[in-house]
Amino acid sequence: MSSSRLAEQRREVIEIARRMTADRLVVGTSGNVSVRCGDLVAVTPSGVDYDRLDVADIPLVDLTGKVVDGDLKPTSELPMHLTAYQLHDAGAVVHTHSLHATALSLLRNDVPAVHYQLAEFGGVVRVAEYATFGSCRLAETMSEALTGRTGCILRNHGTITIGAGLSQAYNRARQLEWLCELWLTASRVGAPSLLSDAELARCAEQFAGYGQQSR
């Protein structure tokens, strides 16, 4: 991996971290972002204001978590990120503390099929069992909920979404927050109607050929 490519991906980590704040998916220095660069991972540091970050502030770690470049300590949630790369073929990971998704995690074990956009995640999004932040146990419960999916919710905590790149992972984080807000809004006034598993499967097939496939 060339140094220019690594610098580009570190800049993208900063850009997405700042977008999380602007889009109100995190507050302060909460949440974290990473992208895989060959055998390395560029990841946000622990406890640093995103507006103050520079390229050199983004640690590079190997897939065991060893820092190979950078003076700052990686995010405390590094075990979750590494698990997503090692076991779920992620190209990038976005972890938010978004309000509506976290609120839903206090009430349910999954995100109901209130909209066909759930097909983007591979089916109904699961809520992982609670575990202390930064712990290996949290990485384990996340991994269980993420199996066969491109995102999950962490109970009493936030969300994890993965993608081939940071743009896709981040768009999924925003979409997941919207789906949770949709269910919470509708459920205030009644029992929302839900899509069937068969319809979600049809939508998943549609998504497979969606967009500009030649680009």
- Residue 146 and residue 123: Cα distance in Å, rounded? 11
Catalytic residues: 77
CA distance 14 to 173: 16
- Determine the Cα–Cα distance for residues 93 and 163; give it in Å rounded to an integer: 7
Q: In what order do the strands lie in the sheet with 67-69?
A: 67-69, 60-62, 40-43, 32-37, 92-96, 158-163, 151-154, 127-128
pTM metric for this prediction: 0.94
* Confidence class for position 206, pLDDT limits 50, 70, 90: confident
What mean pLDDT is predicted for residues 180-207?
92
Give the mean pLDDT of 163-168: 97
Lowest-confidence range among 10-14, 82-86, 164-168, 204-208? 204-208
Task: Name which CATH class applies to 3-208.
Answer: alpha beta
**Dist. CA 188–CA 127, nearest whole Å:** 20
Tens digit of each residue's pLDDT (9 = 90 or more) over 87-144: 999 999 999 999 999 999 999 999 999 999 999 999 889 999 999 999 999 999 999 9
In the chain, where the domains are located: 3-208
pLDDT of residue 28: 86
Closest CA to 200 of 116, 125, 114: 116
